[in-house]
Amino acid sequence: MTNPRPRAAVILAAGQGTRMRSPIPKVLHKVGGRMMLDRAIDAAKAAGCARIVVVAGAHSPEVAAHARARLGEGSVAIQDPPLGTGHAVLAAKDVLADFDGDVLVSYADTPLLDASAVTPLFDRRAGGADLVVLGFEAVDPGPYGRLILGSEGGLERIVEAKDASPEELKVTLCNSGVLAADRALLFRLLGMVRNDNAKAEYYLTDVVGLARADGASVLTTLADETVVMGVNSQAELAQAEAAFQGAVRRRMLDTGVSMPAPDTVMFSHDTAVAPGAVIEPYVVFGPGVTVGRATIRAFSHLEGAHVADDAIIGPYARLRPGAEIGAKAHIGNFVEVKAVTVGEGAKANHLAYLGDGAVGPGANIGAGVIFCNYDGFNKQRTEVGAGAFIGSNSALVAPVTIGSGAYVGSGSVITKAVAADALALTRPEQVEKTGWAARFRSVMAGRKKA
């Protein structure tokens, strides 16, 4: 068996994105909590592309900067001025001059395109096709370019809708714009593309006709229409997000995650939930969350957090990055946890803020407890030992340590370490003045009457 040919990708990310009406470049908008450009890079890497070139526009230096940060120097080509998709791919020619292998052309604004959709293009290349185009069956072909196949199934040409005959307009097999070819062939064909059209642009689609005229074999592969969905507006971004969420929800349900109202749950691209977990309505998962066989109650928000088996989160809980919730722990309503490890069986059931520290196994955090972790300049840690009990409405001023089994009386402000099994109290002694309330009411009633 011969070794597969090396693979590279050219990701087109130079579009103006004016229809997004946003100060953020189009391809840096997110689907599933991940930038569309990163999703395109992820797909290329997963498909085995060892070299990736992002073609950015001079108008969006943020795109080029992000690509360099992700892929390193030499990973970006600038298209300036923008003269069409063929011109954009040609901008990567010098960067890939030393590359000998197959090149995938994809787009940074097709966030649902994944490795499973593009790998078949490389497979067809390995089977002998010179150029492979990814197509899709459109429910409403509308303005899409049509893929016109020959009698033996090869791709004869791509016809834009405005140029199509009535018969060609009946074709539902449409062009996604994604293709793969040998690097030398691709750039040789692009060098032959002309801009004698209404927009005076160089179209990538012209390489199909040029390849056929050159005697090359041109074939197609197919993907679902949703997978090749492009994003050019906020409405289309929302549609892509909805499609992504629907796919993840179905996958979660299929693996045994219980969700009584799945349409209300929002996932991120990397959310991992174990079979047997229960996710109640209106839960939001930001990036970086893993959940064991736990219960996440309604209206909770999790990001950058890990939840172990048999823990209960919420309702109305917030887990921020660095929250590590142990097995059988409880994080209740209106409790916020940030960069804190909560030990097995520990509980913070109501109205608390736990930031920067650790809570030992079996400890209890009362209502209204605050870890005072920030002095205006630095974050400090609070350590609560195993089995400790922190009374309601207490403030633990970091850095501070509460020993194992210690008690902190309600309403205390703790600024010094508390020994194991000790009781710490800082509230003043209670004073009672007999009859004071009755006398006060009598005086005030007299004044009001007067």
Residues 71-121: tens digit of each pLDDT? 999 999 999 999 999 999 999 999 999 999 999 999 999 999 999 999 999
The confidence band for 2, taking pLDDT boundaries of 50, 70 and 90, is low
7-222, superfamily in CATH?
A: Spore Coat Polysaccharide Biosynthesis Protein SpsA; Chain A (3.90.550.10)
The confidence band for 131, taking pLDDT boundaries of 50, 70 and 90, is very high
* pLDDT > 50? residue 420: yes
Q: What does the pLDDT read at residue 374? A: 95
**360-367+375-444 has the same fold as 7-222:** no
Instruction: Please tell me the distance from the alpha carbon of residue 224 to that of residue 189, in angstroms, as a whole number.
Output: 28
The single-letter DSSP state of residue 18 is G
Average pLDDT, stretch 394-414? 98
How confident is the prediction for the chain on average, in pLDDT? 96
Q: What does the pLDDT read at residue 104? A: 98
Average pLDDT, stretch 418-447? 94
Q: What does the pLDDT read at residue 151? A: 82
Q: Helices 61-71 & 36-46, crossing angle to 10 degrees?
A: 40
The domain locations on the chain are 7-222, 360-367+375-444
Strand extents, DSSP E, 111-217: 131-137, 146-149, 155-159, 173-182
Residue 301 is a catalytic residue: no
The confidence band for 1, taking pLDDT boundaries of 50, 70 and 90, is very low
DSSP-assigned letters across all residues of 367-391: TT-EEE-B-SS-B--EEE-TT-EE-
Tens digit of each residue's pLDDT (9 = 90 or more) over 261-284: 999 999 999 999 999 999 999 999
Q: What does the pLDDT read at residue 270? A: 98
- Selection from 207, 213, 205, 159 nearest residue 187 by Cα: 207
In the CATH scheme, what architecture does the domain 360-367+375-444 have?
3 Solenoid (2.160)
Which of 29, 59, 269, 350 is labelled catalytic?
Answer: 350
Average pLDDT, stretch 119-139? 96
Average pLDDT, stretch 215-220? 96
